Amino acid sequence: MASSSHRRPRPERRTRRVPVVTVVAVAAVALVVSLVVAFRPDGGSETGADGGARTVEPAAGSGVSGPPTPTGTTGSPSPKPKPSTASPSATAGRASTPAATPAGRSGSSSGRSAAPAARTASGAAPSAGRIAPGTAYRGVATSYDVGNGDGACSYGPTSDVMTAAMNTADYETSKACGAYVLVRAGSGASITVRITNECPAPCEAGQLDLSQQAFAKLAPLSAGRIPVTWSLLSPATSDTVSIRYKTGSTQYWCGIQAIGHRNPLARLEVRTSAGWTRLARTDYNYFLSEQGNGCGGALRLTDIYGEQLTVEGIAVRANVVQSTRVQFARH
């Protein structure tokens, strides 16, 4: 049996009374403090590392994207795009930062994907695609035998040999077709070429596959592959825009092509009962009206600078080049 000395009596609870006046005073102080904090000028800010206040702002969204480049399927057999075949080179200088973001229908040496373009100036036009005016791109140049001058842009045979094939991504579903490009080599030599073809993989981002005649003005053909910079031109020209309807075109289905435009073409529209209707663009550089809407009617052409040309009276005459006597302004 435990000794009574091991047990301690429970202490008696005593209630301590706090004067009412004290409680009221504490509540009043708390109220004053909360009002001061609420009405501080910087009440919604965070404190920075330097002890000063900084306002927290939401991050801006990225989301502006250019107009999509439409594609379409033809209701009649489409011409097989004519790829160029770049001469492969085992060595030769490859640009450290190739151009515009791409991968390329002409065939060149390296199949590695490249980094985005190095842009030295801004100035994107309203309807510019991947190749923007006022922008310099770095890449490589290779060469190929252009043969009769025909290519993926479906312009047909030509005696003009100062031409080039654009890598697939910058070709952008034929949006580069007809573009004039100034190309500069590290030696200081430069040439102007017109894009008439597409250079597929293994062409890299920023790569231009030049005609052998054009390449020879920059470096010996034996160089195979050289680093270059290039940019879009809006050249002086006495040519006017022409229109050609694709073989097989009728009032019920047609493919329409613009030829000889000074600046790259952003879109082609036909006038219908519902107003202007934008046609889908193919990678062989024709705009298709699958249901025949607008075939033989008024056309509206828009270049990458946003200038519009309206053309009337172009009848559906398959595979015939018809002049419009109009041209886009020089920039």
pLDDT at residue number 276:
97
What is the spatial distance between Cα 248 and Cα 59, in angstroms, rounded to a whole number?
53
Residue-level pLDDT at 84: 57
pTM for the model stands at 0.66
pLDDT tens per residue, range 130-156 = 999 999 999 999 999 999 999 999 999
CA dihedral 255, 256, 259, 265 (to 10 degrees): -110
What was the pLDDT predicted at 210? Answer: 98
Residue 26: how many CB atoms within 10 A of its CB?
10
> Out of 10-14, 172-176, 276-280, which region has the weakest mean confidence (pLDDT)?
10-14
Tell me what pLDDT residue 28 has: 53
Residue for token pair 């057999």: 77
Give me the percent of the chain exceeding a pLDDT of 90: 61
pLDDT of residue 293: 96
Return contacts of 65-69, CB within 8 angstroms, 24+ apart: 66/128, 66/129, 67/127, 67/266, 67/267, 69/129, 69/172, 69/173, 69/175, 69/281
Residue holding tokens 């390449």?
215
pLDDT over 70 (residue 200): yes
CA neighbor of 238 nearest in space, from 146, 330, 148, 130: 330
pLDDT score recorded for residue 53: 33
- What is the rounded average pLDDT of the residues 254-278? 97
Dist CA 258 CA 298 (whole Å): 13
User: ω into residue 68 within 30 of 0, thus cis?
Assistant: no
Quickly list H helices, the chain. Answer: 20-38, 168-171, 212-215
Mean pLDDT of the chain: 75
pLDDT given for residue 316 in this prediction = 98
Q: So what's the pLDDT on residue 106?
A: 52
Over 70: is that where the pLDDT of 124 sits? no
Mean pLDDT of 237-258: 97
- Per residue in 73-102, pLDDT (tens digit) is 333 444 444 455 444 333 233 333 333 433
Pick from 56-60, 136-140, 156-160: least confident: 56-60
Higher pLDDT, 57 or 145: 145
CB-count exposure of residue 46 (10 Å: 0-12, 13-18, 19+): exposed
